[in-house]
Amino acid sequence: MAIANDVIRKQGDTYPIEVTILKDSGAPIDLTGASALVLGVAVTETITVPDEPELLLNGIVSEAESGKVNFNITAQEADVLAFGDYYSEIQFEQGGYIITTETFRYRVKGQIVF
């Protein structure tokens, strides 16, 4: 089973979202050869067709052996999420398998400076 760290960001920030994907034991998953990394963020824990998540971002492995993935986010994408708590998952392909992390929290905090 794959798990990921919670994400906490200020509303509107556009620096890359960095997530570490881990095994149940807490050790990082080696992402060597992983592809098609997608981060989904939604208001509800489960989504049914035809609904879609509020945000879908493509990612790149930044440190394979450490399980680190970066998701770039534009200003327009960052503005989609109001402050509050959301549900997230990351899905990727590796070794001929599709792997989806357990659901984790994506928190957007309000800001003072605009």
Read off the pLDDT of each residue in 2-21 and give the average, rounded to a whole number.
95
- pTM, full prediction: 0.91
Q: Is the pLDDT of residue 18 over 80?
A: yes
At 46-65, the pLDDT tens digits run 876 677 899 999 999 999 99
pLDDT digits (tens, 9 = 90+) for 72-101: 999 999 999 999 999 999 999 999 999 999
How many angstroms separate the Cα of 89 from the Cα of each of 13, 21, 65, 110, 112?
20, 11, 20, 22, 28
User: Could you give the CA distance from residue 24 to residue 56 in angstroms, rounded to a whole number?
Assistant: 25
